[in-house]
Every structure is written in C-alpha cells, then in structure tokens.
Amino acid sequence: MLLENYRHLVGRVDALCRRIEAAYGQHLACRKGCDSCCRHLSLFRVEGVALARALAGQDPGLVTRIRERARKATPDGPCPLLEDGACLLYAARPMICRTHGLPLIFSEGEGRRVDFCPQNFQGLASLPASSVVDLDLLNATLATIDELFVAEAFQGTPPGGERLSIAEALLLQGD
C-alpha cells in the first residue's frame, strides 16, 4: 500500500515511454549495451525503497553480488546495477532511468527547452508535444508522492536527506 502511488506513476510513465518508443523506435539508439548514461544517480526516497524491495525479491546470490557492488560504488562511477551493458533490475529501475534519452521538456532560466540523448532522434526536425516528457511535471508529481510516502512510512521524519544514491538504496533492507 505504501508504494501504490509510486507504482501508479511508474505505470503511467511507462505507457508514455512505450508510445514514444513505438512511434520513434527507429530513431532511438538506447538499448542493451548503450550504457553511457547509466551513472550512479540520486533518487527520491520512495524510489529507493521500491528499488530495495525489488532487490530483496531476487535470488540471494544476486542480492549479495549487487550489494557488494553498492558498497564499492563511487559517486562518479557507473551504476552498481550495470552488468554487461544491462540493468540487473531493469523492471524496477528508477524514474530517471525510465525516461533517460527520451525527449524531455523542462524549465531553464526564463524559458523551457527540450533535450534528449544526442544519439537519439537524429534527422528529425521536430517532435509533437505528445512525444515529449514534461520533466517539471514529472518531478513535481514524484516529489509529492515522495512526501506522502515519507509521511506514511516515517511519520514525516525519514532518516537521511531528501534523496539517496542508488547504492544507498540497494543497501536498504527491502522488507
């Protein structure tokens, strides 16, 4: 029940990403083996707990291997979930990983701009608004879900800061 709002958002974002991928698949370089963006990123607490729970449900040998990588992870290094160019917990990947490389629109200065992986959408002059992820709206929604999660899970006072690294999330007990 604690993660219901987060899972609902993941479902909606995944549906949008699938629509973009279906429409522009031939213009997307992102796939297994394309891992230059798979860095050690930070997450909202709700994402961290969801990731920890997903890890806890894996084979004990895999859990041990991933946690050992998490202990050794460096802030500027690759994601501890990255192995042979693929994510070991792909189905449970955080929001930033789900949208990375796709066209994102966000506020910058007094305006808004669209950005995406430079390897993607080559040769296209424009994209319709329906194929662009509104990052400001997504982050605001995710922040609200995180606040609700913290209020319920930690009675409003979580341990640590507002965000945690992927490695920190992988070292949480997921039960």
| pLDDT tens-digit series, residues 155-171 | 877 766 779 999 999 99
**What is the count of structural domains for the chain?**
1
Q: Is residue 154 part of a domain?
A: yes
| Phi-psi category of residue 115: left, alpha or beta, with phi > 0 → left and psi -120 to 50 → alpha | beta
pLDDT at 9: 98
Query: Over 90: is that where the pLDDT of 154 sits?
Result: no
Q: Is residue 72 part of a domain?
A: yes
- Residue 111 belongs to what domain range? 4-170
Written as one letter, the residue type at 15 is A
Burial call 122-161: b when 16+ CB within 10 Å, e when fewer: eeeeebeeebbbebeebeebbeebbeebbeeeeeeebeee
Residue 63 neighbours by CB distance under 10 Å: 15
Query: Over 60: is that where the pLDDT of 175 sits?
Result: no
- Average pLDDT over the chain reads 90
Of the candidates 45, 67, 43, 47, which has an alpha carbon nearest to the alpha carbon of residue 55? 67
Of the candidates 125, 100, 95, which has an alpha carbon nearest to the alpha carbon of residue 115? 100
pLDDT at 155: 81
Q: Is residue 175 part of a domain?
A: no
- CB-based contacts of 60: which residues, under 8 Å, 6+ apart? none
Paired with 43 in beta bridges are 164
pLDDT digits 0-9 by tens, 73-122: 998 889 999 999 899 999 999 999 999 889 999 999 999 999 988 888 88
Q: Is residue 141 part of a domain?
A: yes
Q: Is residue 120 part of a domain?
A: yes
